[in-house]
Amino acid sequence: MMITHATSSFSDPVLVRYLALGAVLFAIGLVGFMARRNMIMIFLSTEIMFQGVAINLIAFSRYYHNADGQSFVIFLLTVAAAEASLALGLVVMLFRHRQTLNVDAWSDMQG
Amino acid sequence: MNIPLNHLCPEIIMIVAACIVALLGAAKSDSVRRSAQWISLISLILAFIAGWRIGTVDAGPAWPLASFCTYDTLLASGVGILLVLLSWDMPFALDPAKSDQTFRGEYFAMMLVSLAGVSMMAKVDNLIWLFIALELVSIPTYIMVATGRGNPAAQEAGIKYFFLGSLSAAIYLFGFSYLYGFCGSTDFSKIAGAFAGSSQVPYVAIIGLLMVIIGIAYKIAAVPLHYYAPDVYQGTATPVTAFLSFAPKAAGFIALILVFNLTGWKLSHGAARAVPDLLMVMAVLSMTIGNVLALLQRNIKRMLAYSSISHSGYMLVGLAVGPLLLSHSTTNGISAMLFYLGAYSIMTVGAFAVLVYLQGKLDAAEDLDDIAGIASEHPLAAACMAVCMLSLIGMPFTVGFLGKLFIVQAAFSSGHGVLAVIVMINAAIAAAYYLSIITSMYLRDPWTPFSVRRPGTIQFSAAIAAALVILLGLFPSVLMSMSQYSGSEVTKMVAMDHSHGAALIKTASTLSADKNVEMRLAVRAH
Amino acid sequence: MVNVLTTALATSHIEFYSGWALLGILFLIGLAFGIGNVVLSHTLGPARKGLVKDSTYESGVDPLGSTRERFNVRFYLVAMIFLVFDVEVLFIIPWLYVFNNQRHPWVVLPLGALFASILIFTLILLVAYVYAWGKGVFQWD
C-alpha cells in the first residue's frame, strides 16, 4: 500500500530518464575523479558530480510539485561556488610552489 | 528551522564573532590583529554559557531534541575553548622573516565558523540544513589545513583533504537526493513520516542511506574513506590537526544519528538490514586497520591519526548496535556513542595540546625520538600526555575507560557479543602504541634539548584536558546524564517502533507537522 | 503571439500599450545607461595616448600571440570575488518573488522578518566585501 507510493516515484517513466541522466553524470564525475591527474580536471569532475545531484533534485522537485528540491539546488550551487573559489585559491598557491598541477607531484607523505 | 531564534543564540554569537575577527584580520596593525584570540575565546565562553542557559530552560514538546542540541552546543563551544587556547600563537608565519604577516584573524574566524557549524548540527530539521551545516564545518577546515603552515607538506595535506572532501560531499548529496526522492520532502518530520508509513524500506532509500553513510564516513575518518587521515594529520600544523580530530568527527557522528533518526531506527529486517551490516563492517575494519597500522608508525601525529580512525570504529559500534534496550539507558548504543564522543574529544585534544606545546621549532616534536625524555624538563606536559594516553587506552579511573565500558556493554546487551570482543581485542592492541609514547617520554634519555618558549595557554589547555579526563573518569555523572538524556531523546521514536504498526502510523502523523503528507501518502496508495 | 493579439483586441488599446510601455522604458534606460557611460568616460576620464592604449582591447590580454598563454594570477582573484557577488543573486531573486507574493501559502514569515533577513544577508556579504577591500584585492598593482 504505502510501498506503492515509494516505488512509484522511481518507476515513473519520465522521471526515470532524468534520474538516469543524473546517475550518469555522477558516474562520469566519479570516473574522472579517479582517472585524471590534473588538479583542475579533478575539481571539474567533482563539479560534474554535483550537477548530477542537482539534476536528481530538480527532477524530484518537478515530480512532487514542491519547491524543496529547487531550494536545495540553490544552496548546492552556492556551496559549489564557495568550493570553486577555494579550489582556485588552492590551485594558485600550489602552482606558485611547484610550477605544476599534476597531483603526483604532491605525494611526499606515504605510509 | 522550526526552533525559536533565541535557541540559536550560541551559533549567532560565534558567527558574529567570526565576522569581527575576520575583519580584524584585514587590519594593518599587528596589535589589532592580536586581539583575534581574545575575541574568539570570549565569544566561545559566551556561547557556552548561552548554550547552558538554553539547555536548563525546559522547552517542552516544542523542541523534542533539546538535550541533544544542548549537548552538541556545549561540546562544540567547550572543546572549542580548549582548541582556541592551544592554537594561541597560530598560525605560524608563512615566512619566518615576516612573522607579523600571519593570517591570524582568518585562522580564528575559520575556526569559529566551523565550530558554529558543529554546534548547529544537532538543531537542523531539514536535509538542506544538514547539508549546509556539514559544509559549514568542512569548508573552513580546508582553508585551515592548507594555510596552517607554509611548508609543502601542509599544501599537500590541503589538496588531499579538499579534493576528497568535495568527493565525499558529492557522495552524501547523491544519497540526500534519493532520500528526498523517496519521501518527496526534505523536511525531517515528513521524511520520518514516510519511513514510518512504509512497512518495508524500499531499495532506493537504502541506496540513499548507504551513500550518506559512505560520504559521512569521510568526515569521521572511518574505513572506506579513511586513507586521507594520516597524510592530512601529519602534513598540517598541529593545532589544526587537533581541530580536525574534533570538529568534523563530532559533526559527522551527529549527522549520522540524525539521518538514522529519520528512518525510525527500524533497519534490522528485510533489505534495510544492509545499513547496520555496513556500519558493523565499517566499525570492525576501522578499529582493526587503525590500530594495526598505528603500531607501525614512528611519527606521533600519524600515530594519532590512525588512533583517530580506530576510535571512530569504537563509536560506530555504538551507532550500529543502535538504540536497543532502552530500559537501561547506559546500554543504549547511542548514549554510549555520545558519551564516547565527548570523552574522545577531550582526551585527543589534550594529547595534541601537549604536542603543540613541545613544538619548539616549526617541524619538531613529531617523531617518537623528539619527545624522548621530556619528562624531566617538562614534567607537567609529560604528565598531561600520559594521562591522555592512558585514557585513550581505556585505563580505569579515566573517562576513556567508561567510554569503552559503555560501548562494550551496549554491544553485549544487544546481542552483538562478537563486536564487543573485537572492541576489547583492539583496545589491547592499541595499548602497545600508546604506551610506547609514555615510555619514550619517561624512560628514555633526551635526544635533543628542547628550548620551549610557547604561550602558557597551550600548557593550560593541556592541563584542563587532563584534569577533565580524570575528573570525568571519577565523577562521570554530568557527562553521563547529558549523553543519556540525549540518547534517549533521539531514540524516542524507537520505543514506538517496538509497538505495533497502527500506533506507528499514528506517531508518524503526529510527528509530521503537516497532515498533508499522510493524505498524500494515502492518495498515492490508491 | 496569438494570445497577445486576442488580449489586445479584448482590452482597450491604452491598457494594452501601457503594459508594453514598461518594456520600452526598460529598453530606453538600458540604452541611456550604455551610451551615458561611454560619453561620460570619454568626457570625464583621463585621455592618454600610447602604444598600449591604442592597441585592440582584448580583456587585458595581449591581442596577438599564442592563445595558450598564462593568465595573470590576479584574474583568478577577481574571479573569486566575482563568485561571491554572482551567487548572491541566486538568493535575492527567490526572495524578491516571495516578497512580492505575500499571500502565497509557502510564505510563512511576516514582511518585517523577510526584510530583516535580506538585510542580514547583505550585511554578511558586506563583511566579505570589506574584508577583500582591506586585504587590497581590488588594487591591480
Residue A31 has pLDDT above 80, yes or no: yes
C-alpha cell at B63: 523542541
pLDDT for res B518: 38
The more confident residue out of B264 and B120 is B120
Any CB–CB contact under 8 A between B27 and chain C? yes
Cβ–Cβ below 8 Å for A82 and B170: no
Domain boundaries, chain A: 11-100
Distance of alpha carbon B268 from alpha carbon B437, whole angstroms: 41
B352: pLDDT confidence band, cut at 50, 70 and 90?
Answer: very high
CA-to-CA separations, C114 to B4, B520, C127, in angstroms, rounded = 16, 30, 20
Name which of A53, A85, A103 to mutate to probe chain B: the one with the most chain B Cβ atoms within 10 A of its Cβ. Answer: A53
Cβ–Cβ below 8 Å for A68 and B178: no
pLDDT digits 0-9 by tens, B202-256:
888 889 999 999 999 999 999 888 889 999 998 888 889 999 999 999 999 999 9
Average pLDDT on C36-48 reads 86
C-alpha cell at B144: 585551515
Cβ–Cβ below 8 Å for A4 and B204: no
Distance of alpha carbon B242 from alpha carbon B87, whole angstroms: 9
Region label for B332, one of left (φ > 0), alpha (ψ between -120 and 50) or beta (otherwise): beta
Number of domains in chain C: 1
C-alpha cell at B119: 554546534
Name which of C84, C108, C127, C133 to mutate to probe chain B: the one with the most chain B Cβ atoms within 10 A of its Cβ. Answer: C127
Minimal C-alpha gap between C95 and chain B (Å):
17
Chains adjacent to C (≥3 CB pairs closer than 8 angstroms):
A, B
3-state secondary structure of B187: strand
pLDDT digits 0-9 by tens, C44-94:
888 777 777 777 777 767 777 777 777 777 777 787 788 777 888 888 888
- Give this prediction's pTM: 0.86
pLDDT for res B501: 34
Least confident of B70-74, B348-352, B370-374: B370-374
Chains adjacent to B (≥3 CB pairs closer than 8 angstroms):
A, C
Any CB–CB contact under 8 A between A82 and chain B? yes
Residue B499 has pLDDT above 60, yes or no: no
pLDDT digits 0-9 by tens, A85-108:
888 888 888 887 777 777 777 676
Any CB–CB contact under 8 A between A73 and chain B? no
B16: pLDDT confidence band, cut at 50, 70 and 90?
Answer: very high
pLDDT for res B102: 62
pLDDT for res B172: 95
Any CB–CB contact under 8 A between B23 and chain C? yes
As a whole number, the mean pLDDT across chain B is: 83
pLDDT digits 0-9 by tens, B196-208:
887 777 888 889 9
Residue C105 has pLDDT above 50, yes or no: yes
Minimal C-alpha gap between C47 and chain A (Å):
35
Average pLDDT on B317-344 reads 78
pLDDT for res B155: 82
Any CB–CB contact under 8 A between C120 and chain B? no
Least confident of B437-441, B473-477, C67-71, C112-116: C67-71
pLDDT for res A11: 74
pLDDT for res B170: 95
pLDDT for res B504: 32
Nearest CB neighbour to B177, from listed A46, A60, A98: A60
Q: Is the dihedral of CA C117, B42, C128, B216 positive or negative?
A: negative
B517: pLDDT confidence band, cut at 50, 70 and 90?
Answer: very low
Average pLDDT on C97-121 reads 81
Distance of alpha carbon B525 from alpha carbon B369, whole angstroms: 68
Nearest CA in chain A to C83: A81
Region label for B322, one of left (φ > 0), alpha (ψ between -120 and 50) or beta (otherwise): left
Any CB–CB contact under 8 A between A51 and chain B? no
Cβ–Cβ below 8 Å for C73 and A67: no
Quote the crossing angle between the two packed helices B9-25 and B66-86, to the nearest 10°.
Answer: 30
Q: How far is C-alpha B312 from the chain's CA centre? A: 9
Residue B165 has pLDDT above 90, yes or no: yes
pLDDT for res C139: 78
Minimal C-alpha gap between C136 and chain B (Å):
9
Expressed as residue numbers, the domain containing C97 is 71-141
Minimal C-alpha gap between C74 and chain A (Å):
10
Cβ–Cβ below 8 Å for A81 and C87: yes
C-alpha cell at B29: 596593525
pLDDT for res B450: 61
Q: Which of A55, A73, A51 is nearest to B127 (CA)?
A: A73
pLDDT for res B262: 84
Expressed as residue numbers, the domain containing B246 is 5-525
pLDDT for res A28: 96
Residue B98 has pLDDT above 70, yes or no: no
Q: Say how many C-beta atoms besides its own lie within 10 A of residue B306's C-beta.
A: 26
Any CB–CB contact under 8 A between B25 and chain C? yes
pLDDT digits 0-9 by tens, B166-186:
999 999 999 999 999 988 889
Let me know: does B181 contact A61? Beta carbons within 8 Å: no
pLDDT over 90 percentage in chain B:
45
pLDDT for res B149: 72
Number of domains in chain B: 1
Distance of alpha carbon A110 from alpha carbon B58, whole angstroms: 51
Going through A6-98 in order, the beta strands assigned E by DSSP cover none
Region label for A68, one of left (φ > 0), alpha (ψ between -120 and 50) or beta (otherwise): alpha
Top CATH class, A11-100: mainly alpha
Instruction: Phi first, then psi: give them for residue B272, nearest 5 degrees.
Output: -65, -15
